[in-house]
Amino acid sequence: MLKSADAIKRLRALNGGAPGLAYVRSFGCQLNVSDGEKIKGVLQEIGYGLTEDENEADLIILNTCAVRESAEDRVFGIVGSMKKLKERKPSLIIGIAGCMTAQSHIAQKIRRSYPQVDLVVGTSAIRSLPGLLLEHMEGASLAEDISEYDDFSEAVPQIRESSFKASVPIMFGCNNFCTYCIVPYVRGRERSRRPEDIIAEVEELVGKGYKEIMLLGQNVNSYGNDLGGEITFPELLRKLNALEGDFIIRFMSSHPKDASDELIEAIFDCRKVAKHLHLPVQSGSSDVLRRMNRRYTAEQYLETVRKIRDRDPGFSLTTDLIVGFPDETNEDFEATLDIIREVKYDNIYSFIYSKRSGTKAAEMPDSTTEEEKSRRMRELLSVQREVSSEHYRRFIGRTMRVLADGKAKKKEGWLTGKSSEFIIVEFPGDESLIGQFVDVKITGAMNWAVTGEMAEK
Ligand code: SAM
Ligand code: SF4
Ligand code: F3S
């Protein structure tokens, strides 16, 4: 593979600097979206314009996710339908990037069954994109780089989707090997970015007017474990909190086994750190948690919640839950409903278990039917709706500081935004306020959002 800079030079010469329009679509988590922004940055560097319309594109990159089968099926459906697009425009280049490419059986399936695909860009190969495009233009039937580097680059250009909210990956990979999860296999082991690089990036973003910084990692609590004791995640939070400027710091995800007292202290001490914690529990049954290799029990999880709520009884928590893990019994499921009722999450992200080949759980027997799993999911969502419609009422009468992030749907003249607690807040307001912090006095609560009016200054 050519060095990126050489490939860029030769590509520019080949294209006369105008290779056309690129359409990049990301399917996965926020880290995947952040990678998508880097893909756009690299493409723009080599002269591509960007489009939101795949029909006018000269290059299409699908930035994929492998976490559940449904995500993969969606991508294969879309790649299948792109055959027609390519028949209409034979010069169209189609590339697959992201986590799906890191599974050898998927890479093989692409090679075998999807000849319309020209490029396979592995999760560590965004910088190889110019080289891969060059290989394709020089006649390769499939240009692919699915190698694993460890030297994630600090210098990849990035086209950010928002001018006021930015994601900043602080680490890559995962060491936890939860038995259901494909991420450690497709993203490799944990690698922390240098703290000075993260701080410089956040400083630059805040200098450009960014108001929300979302720190990303599969388990931010183990940030720094590979940096020889130089820094911990709570210490990083404190350093970022000390930067000049009016902005809010969020982070995700936080593995409950590593949610330390030091972390809780930092959240309460640091004014700029959001008063919200996403603490994925996955199940309320200690037996299921053991079989998931989560390395905490339901009791230990509740102990962490108690420590937080002792300091602030209304503290906002959200979580991820898996329904229908192999051989989850009715009692296990009831324990999950109990934990939802006990913790009173403001929001949950719930998923029906999806078997991922290569993971330990894929080998576990499972006698629960898909119908029963769907029934449990419906029940879980209904319990959560009850909990949140009651729990959201605690905000009525309070004034919340909200980062306005867009127009509210179906409400002419209204804006929507997120409070520090990660609650959706809708209020009447002018579009010019989008991207700014606004104080909103809360007057109403639904089970997914609160409503209010801008507070007098
Ligand atoms: N690292 C994060 C953590 O541990 O909380 C999670 C990252 S994962 C991309 C996001 C969520 O997807 C997980 O918390 C889990 O609930 C869900 N998930 C992961 N593997 C899954 C599977 N095989 N089936 C269903 N949901 C899954
Ligand atoms: Fe997956 Fe567990 Fe790692 Fe999260 S911590 S990415 S769920 S293996
Ligand atoms: Fe994210 Fe999906 Fe990969 S959740 S890390 S894009 S498998």
In this structure, which ligand is nearest to the CA of 217? 1
CA dist., res. 394 & res. 382, Å (int) = 20
Structure tokens at 376: 């449990």
Residue 232 φ/ψ, nearest 5 degrees: -110, 170
Sheet holding 119-121, edge to edge: 49-50, 21-26, 59-64, 93-98, 119-121, 143-145
Give exposure, 103-135, as e/b (b: 16+ Cβ within 10 Å): beebbeebeeebebbbbbbbbbbbbbbbbbbbb
Residue 63, strand partner residues: 26, 97
Ligand 3 atom nearest 28 alpha carbon:
6
Instruction: Say yes or no: CB of residue 216 within 6 Å of ligand 2.
Output: no
Specify the residue for token string 């879309």. 78
Structure tokens at 112: 């075998």
Ligand 3 atom nearest 218 alpha carbon:
5
Structure tokens at 282: 């996955």
- What domains lie within the chain, and their CATH numbers? 4-145 (3.40.50.12160), 162-274 (3.30.750.210), 276-393 (3.30.750.200), 396-454 (2.40.50.140)
Instruction: Say yes or no: CB of residue 29 within 6 Å of ligand 3.
Output: yes
pLDDT of 104 reads 86
CA dist., res. 323 & res. 354, Å (int) = 10
Residue 13 φ/ψ, nearest 5 degrees: -65, -40
Instruction: Say yes or no: CB of residue 193 within 6 Å of ligand 1.
Output: no
In this structure, which ligand is nearest to the CA of 356? 1
Query: How many residues are listed for the chain in this entry?
Result: 457
Ligand 2 atom nearest 218 alpha carbon:
6
Instruction: Calculate how far, in angstroms, residue 67's C-alpha sits from the geometric centre of ligand 1.
Output: 7
Contact 392, 450 (CB under 8 A): yes
Coil, helix or strand at residue 172? strand
Residue 245 φ/ψ, nearest 5 degrees: 115, 160
pLDDT of 396 reads 97
| Those residues with Cβ within 8 angstroms of residue 90's Cβ, 6 or more apart along the chain or in another chain | none
Confidence (pTM)? 0.95
pLDDT of 449 reads 96
Pick out the chain residues at pLDDT < 70: 1-3, 15-17, 149-153
Residue 217 φ/ψ, nearest 5 degrees: -175, 155
- Each residue of 51-66: pLDDT tens digit? 999 999 999 999 999 9
Residue 19 φ/ψ, nearest 5 degrees: -75, -10
Number of helical (H) and strand (E) elements in the chain, helices listed first:
13, 19
Pocket test of ligand 1: the residue of 123, 186, 322, 348 to mutate, having most ligand atoms within 8 Å of its CB, is 322
pLDDT of 57 reads 96
Instruction: Calculate how far, in angstroms, residue 280's C-alpha sits from the geometric centre of ligand 1.
Output: 9
pLDDT of 10 reads 78
| Those residues with Cβ within 8 angstroms of residue 212's Cβ, 6 or more apart along the chain or in another chain | 164, 165, 166, 247, 248, 250, 403, 418
Instruction: Say yes or no: CB of residue 219 within 6 Å of ligand 1.
Output: yes
pLDDT of 150 reads 56
